[in-house]
Structure 1
Amino acid sequence: MKELAIIGTTASGKTALALKLASEFNGVILSLDSLCVYKFIDIASAKPSAAELASVPHFGVNLLMPDEHFDVGMFFEVYKTAREFARKNGKNLFITGGSGFYLKALLSGLTPKFERVESGLSNAQIYELVSSLDPEFAVKFSANDTYRLQKWFDIYSFLRSSGRGEAPSSYLRENTLAPVASNLAIFELSWDRDELRGRIKERTRAMFEQGLLDEARELFARYPQRPKPLNSVGLKECGEFLRGEIKTEAELEEL
C-alpha cells in the first residue's frame, strides 16, 4: 500500500486529480477538507458528486450534521480507518483537500488542547515574555504570529495555574502525541497567479449556478444559531447576502 497527499490552493484541481489517480491506481480517498465532513454542505465545500463518491471509496465525507463537533483528534481516527481499509483491501490511499492543519497534524503529531486565556497583552509583549521565559519556543515563530503567541500564552497560563514551573516548549515535547502518518509522499499543485485567479472566478460562478445560495438559505434556516461550519468562507458571505448585509449577487461573487 502506498500513501500520498495531493495539496494545493482553492480551485487548483487537487480533488479531480485525486479522483483520476484513485480510479486508475486502485485507490481510496481521504478528504482533508474541514467542510466535506458535514452533510448538506455540498456546493459550498465543492464536495465530489454522488457519482464520484460512489466511483471510489471515500473517507472523511458526510460524517456529521453541520451543528456537530469535529476536530483534528477525530480526523486522526478517520485517517486510521481509511488506512486500515486500504491495507486490508490492497489499495492505495490518496489524501487530498484544503485543511493544511490536518495534514500537518498527521505529520507532526497532535498537541493537547488548552482553554483560551485573554492576556490583555499585545503580540510584542507576549513575544517578549516568550523570549525571556521560553527561548526554545521563541525561535520557532515571529513576533507577528498571533496564533502561536496565543497558544503559548494559553499553555503558560495552564502551567502557572497548575503550579508547574516548566516552560511550554518542554511541556509540549513531553505531551504531544506522536505523528500517525509515515512514508507519506506529498505533491503540491501550483498555478500561475493569473491563471489561478481565473480558475477561482470560474469555480465561484459555477457554484452559484449549481445553487449555492439555495443551499446556504436552507442551512441558515435549519441552523439559525450559525454553527462554526456556517461561518466558513463562502457560506459566511452568503449568509450576509441573505440578511441584506451584502446588497447584490454581483457584489457577493466578487468577495
Structure 2
Amino acid sequence: MNNFRQLALIGPTASGKTSLAVKVAQKMNAQILSLDSLSIYKEIDIVSAKPNHEERQGVTHYGIDYLFPDEPFDVTTYIDLYKSVKKRCQDEGKNLVIVGGTSFYLKMLLEGISKRPELSKEHLHNVAQQMKDPDKVYRLLKKVDPAYMQKIETGDTYRIQKALEIYLATNEKPGSYFENNPPQPVITESLPVYEIIWDRQRLRERIWLRTEQMLNDGLIDEIITLERKYTRSPNCMKAIGIKETLMYLDGIYNKKMLIEKIAVNTGRLAKRQVTFNNSQFKNVIKGSLEDLENMLL
C-alpha cells in the first residue's frame, strides 16, 4: 500500500490518450480510471470513442460502462468512484493511471468540493419543481446573492441547481455557505500530470478522420437505438456527435454535413479543453504523443 503510485494523462479529444494510457498501465502494473463524461455510460460506445475490449489489452478500466444513459451523475460520482478505485488498486497491489479529456473532474479531485447539505424529500421535490424554469431560479438567486451568482452563467443549470439546493436546505447565501464549508482535496499525494500537445491543424485532421471512422463503424445506428430506448431527454443525448446525428435523422443535415458538423464542433471542444488545461493545472509535463511515450515507457 505504501508503494502505491498514480499519474494523470490529459489532452484534447483525439490526441491519443487512450492508447498511451494502456501502454503506461502495462508498464507500471496499473489499472485505468477514465475521466470521460460520455464513456461513463453504457451503450454509448461509438460516439464516445470508448476503447473496446481488444484496445484495453487486458488492462482493467474503471469509469467506463458505469451508468445507463438515463441515470443522473455529477462530479461527486467521479469522486466516489476514484476513492473506491484507489482502494481496490491498493488492495490488489496495483498502481493507477487517471486518463481523460474531461479534465474538470481531475481538477475537482485535486481541489475537492464543498460538502453539500442534506436534502429532504420535500427539498428535492421543491428543487425539481423550481428547476422547470431555471431562468426564474437564476433571477431569484441573483437577488439573494448577486456576488456569487455573477460567477455563474445563466445557462449553467448544474451550478444554478446546486446553488438553489444550498439556499433551500440552509436558508443561507450560496457564497456564504461555500466560504464556511471550503473544499477538501481528494487527492492529497503527489500526482504527476502529463499533457499531450498537438499542432492544431494536425489535431483537426485526426478529429476529421475519427469522425469518418465513427460513421463507418455504425454511429447512426447507435444513436437511433439510444433515442428509441432513452428518448432525447437525458443530458448525454445533447453531447457532440449525438445532437448532430439527431439533426441528421430529423432531415436537417445530409451525411456530408453531418460529418462536417461533428468534426467542427469536436474541434471547438478540443480548443476549449486545451484552454482549460492551460489555465487550471500547474507544473504539467507537456509534450507530443511521441515525446510522452518515450518519457513514460
Q: 2:23 aligns with which of 17, 20, 23?
A: 20
Displacement after TM superposition at 1:121 (Å):
7.8
What letter matches 2:181 in structure 1? N
Runs of 4+ in structure 1 deviating by more than 6 angstroms, as ranges, are: 147-150
What letter matches 1:32 in structure 2? L
What's the C-alpha RMSD, in Å, of the aligned pairs? 3.1
> Is the aligned partner of 1:180 residue 2:186?
yes
Give the unaligned 5+ runs of structure 2: 118-123, 262-297
Match of 2:58 in 1: 55
Q: 2:86 aligns with which of 83, 94, 107?
A: 83
Find the aligned partners of 1:8 and 1:19 in 2 and give their Cα distance. 15
Q: How many residues align?
A: 241
Find the aligned partners of 2:182 and 2:235 in 1 and give their Cα distance. 26
CA contact (8 A) 1:5 1:186 kept: yes
Displacement after TM superposition at 1:31 (Å):
0.6
Q: 1:150 to 1:67 in 2, by over 3 A?
A: closer
Q: 1:29 to 1:120 in 2, by over 3 A?
A: closer
Find the aligned partners of 2:162 and 2:111 in 1 and give their Cα distance. 20
Q: 1:159 to 1:5 in 2, by over 3 A?
A: same
> Is the aligned partner of 1:170 residue 2:173?
no
* Identity, % of aligned positions: 38
User: How does 1:73-222 map onto structure 2 within 5 Å?
Assistant: 73-111=76-114, 112=116, 118=135, 130=146, 151=159, 155=163, 159=167, 163-164=171-172, 168-182=174-188, 183-222=190-229
Give the unaligned 5+ runs of structure 1: none
Match of 1:241 in 2: 248
Normalising by structure 2, report the TM-score.
0.70
CA contact (8 A) 2:10 2:100 kept: yes
Q: 1:233 to 1:150 in 2, by over 3 A?
A: closer
Q: 1:203 to 1:223 in 2, by over 3 A?
A: same
Match of 2:272 in 1: none
Q: 1:108 to 1:211 in 2, by over 3 A?
A: same
What letter matches 1:238 in structure 2? T
Match of 1:229 in 2: 236
Match of 1:5 in 2: 8
CA contact (8 A) 2:21 2:99 kept: yes
Find the aligned partners of 1:178 and 1:95 in 2 and give their Cα distance. 20
Find the aligned partners of 2:138 and 2:179 in 1 and give their Cα distance. 26
Find the aligned partners of 2:29 and 2:79 in 1 and give their Cα distance. 23
Displacement after TM superposition at 1:195 (Å):
0.9
What letter matches 2:64 in structure 1? V
Normalising by structure 1, report the TM-score.
0.81
Find the aligned partners of 1:36 and 1:90 in 2 and give their Cα distance. 26
Find the aligned partners of 2:205 and 2:239 in 1 and give their Cα distance. 22
